[in-house]
Structures are given as structure tokens and as C-alpha cells.
Amino acid sequence: MNATPCAGGPLRLGTRRSALALAQSGTVAELVTAATGRPVELVEITTYGDVSRESLASIGGAGVFVSALRDALLAGEIDLAVHSLKDLPTAQPEGLTLAAVPPRADPRDALVARGGLTFERLAVTAGRARVGTGSARRAGQLHAWARALGCEIETVPIRGNVDTRIGYVRDGELDAVVLAAAGLHRLGRGEEITDLLAPDVVLPAPGQGALAVECASSDAALAAGLAVLDDPLTRVAVTAERSLLAALEAGCSAPVGAYADLPDGGRTVTEMRLRGAVGTPDGSALVQLSITGPVPASDGEAAALGRALADEMLAKGAAGLMGEREH
């Protein structure tokens, strides 16, 4: 990537204080410097979601990790912010623009289990295995998978950083925990993954594995500079997934999975398959459908694909399975 020098001093990049957020923001900071020729300094911001021990559902979903960063952007305290895209509410606020969606990392969920076990081995051999997750989406699909194997599991709600969550397995309190594979890899802890959960059995959260780079809409020069980081195929894929979420009128904590599949790396194919799943947290009911269309040429076409799949899912009863809704 060739640097294009821009006028001005260091850019202030707002980030959450967690180790994962700092790792993600540090990577983006290097890309921004390469793209703009300007140094980037990280500005650590504490969000309510970082200090609260309440469940995500009770405090408004993963969007609580985003609001403080957006407030700082709108106040001019920072120049840009980096978010985990799966945490972003689907409505874009006035005054801010999603300037770039860099190439997506591994979108799958990952199991970290005692004894290096896969999910199937754990479910079959552990009796009623205790699996920790803070996600109703994961819980529902894991219960459904276990039942398909002729087993039952117990899902245990957990919060905390990666060390805290994996610690529940290390100290024997839980048999396994489920985390985003991308986060573990970004922290250099991919070797702790004992099983990668294929989207065929556990659909990830909409936008999982992708990052979002946001700036003020009024800073057209910065937005143009950041656009160099954008990966068009990643953007249309996550746009389709998030459009599905929005059309279902579901919040970040709703048990909705979505994945826009671009086989063969997405570089030579002409079609995109969008899969969606909505289920009860206990896995007793699940609506899972897919739709295939040409690879979208624009955000608008991607959004239309998401809305079309949402309509089919709602016709199959998806609305009655969502515990968390925002209107």
C-alpha cells in the first residue's frame, strides 16, 4: 500500500481499553499510517459495557461498547474509531460515516475445551457438559447441535475478557467456552482453540470477524484517506448480514446468526450465499434459511439480499423466537 501524505499532525484513534480492542486498533493504526502518511496515536476510552458486570442483554446489547467511542467522535475528541463490526448497531448515526471495512478475519466461533476436546467429543463423553458463553445466539445453536448428536449440554452465561473466560476452563469450573476465532487470533492465542465451529452448524454473529473504521462525516479528506483500507467484498458481505439483522428488527443481543458466504476466497465467484438463523436460547426451536444471488455490486444490492432473506425467515416464524428486539 503506497502512503499518500496528508496535511496535519497525528491522528487520534479512539479505542476501548481491552487487550483485544487495543490489538485491533494497533493493527488498524499501522494501516492508516501507511495509507495517509500520518502517525496515529491511540486514545483509550472506557465504555459502560467495559465496567458493567450485568449481562449484555440487560444493558442494551453489544452496542454499549460503541456509544462512548461515537460520543468522542462527535465531540471532536478523537478523529477516528475502530469497532468490532458485530458490536455496531445497524442504524448509522447522523454525523458519522463508516469509512472502511478492512478484509475480514476468520468469522467462525471457536471452542476452547478441557483436554483439547472438540465439541462433538465433549458433548458425547462429558455427560452434560458445561459450556460458557455470553451469547444467546451461540447457546441456542450449541443446544440444537448437541441434541442432533443425541446429547444434552448446559450453557452457562459468562462475561469478562478472554483471560477471564478461558480461566473458567483452566480452573475446572466449565468444560469449555466459546469465543470468536478472530479475537483469539488477533491476540496471538489461536493455539488455545480446540475446535473451530463451522458455519454449517453454528452461524456466527452478523459482521463477526470484521472491523469497522468510523470517522466524522464532516471530515471528507480523512474519510477519503481511510477508504483505501476498505475491502469491497467484505463490505457487501457484512452489509447483507447486518441488513438481515435490521430487517428482523433484532438488537445485538438477539439470538440471530448470519453469514454471507463467498467461496474460494470470494475473488473469482459470481454468487453470494447468505445464511440466517434465529433460535430460542435453549435450542428447542430454530429457523434457519439461506438465499443465493449475484455478488452485490453495491451496499444497496447487499442490503436488498438481507431484507429478502429476513422476509422469508419472518414468514417461517422467526419473530416469535427473538427475545431481544429494538424497534
Same domain, 95 and 219: yes
Give the CATH number for residue 83. Answer: 3.40.190.10
Shared-domain flag, residues 117 and 154? yes
Q: Which residue has the higher pLDDT, 323 or 10?
A: 10
Backbone φ/ψ region at 103: left (φ over 0), alpha (ψ -120 to 50), beta: beta
How far is Cα 128 from Cα 115, in angstroms, rounded to an integer? Answer: 16
Give the separation between CA 92 and CA 79, rounded to whole angstroms: 17
Does 322 map to a domain?
no
Instruction: State yes or no: pLDDT of 56 exceeds 80.
Output: no
Residue 60: predicted pLDDT:
47
pLDDT in tens, 197-246: 999 999 999 999 999 999 999 999 999 999 999 999 999 999 999 999 99
Residue finishing a domain among 141, 173, 197 = 197
Active site residues: 87
Domain presence at residue 16: yes
Which DSSP symbol is given to 152? -
Could you tell me the CATH number of the domain that includes residue 265? Answer: 3.30.160.40
Same domain, 9 and 71: yes
> What is the Cβ-side half-sphere exposure of residue 87, based on CA atoms within 13 angstroms?
23
What is the number of domains present in the chain? 3
32: its cell numbers? 492508516
> pLDDT higher for 279 or 113?
113
- Answer yes or no: is 154 within a domain: yes
Least confident of 132-146, 157-171, 202-216, 256-270: 256-270
User: How much is the pLDDT for 323?
Assistant: 54
**110-114, 153-157, 252-256: the lowest-pLDDT one:** 252-256
Select the more confidently predicted residue: 72 or 8: 72
The residue-averaged pLDDT of 118-144 equals 94
- Taking 50 as the threshold, does the pLDDT of residue 4 lie above it? no
16 and 153, same domain (yes or no):
no
The answer on 216 and 83 residing in a single domain is: yes
Q: Are residues 219 and 250 in the same domain?
A: no
The alpha carbon torsion through 12, 13, 17, 19 (nearest 10 deg) reads -130
For residues 93 and 241, membership in a common domain is answered with no
Q: How far apart are the first and last CA of the chain?
A: 42
* 8 and 92, same domain (yes or no): yes
Q: Please, what is the Cα angle at 187 between 77 and 92, to 5 degrees?
A: 40
Domain hosting residue 253, numbered range: 231-317
Average pLDDT over residues 120-147: 94
Instruction: State mean pLDDT over 178-190.
Output: 97
Q: Which is it for the CA torsion 192, 194, 199, 201, positive or negative? A: negative
Residues 192 and 267 in one domain: no
pLDDT in tens, 86-102: 999 999 999 999 999 99
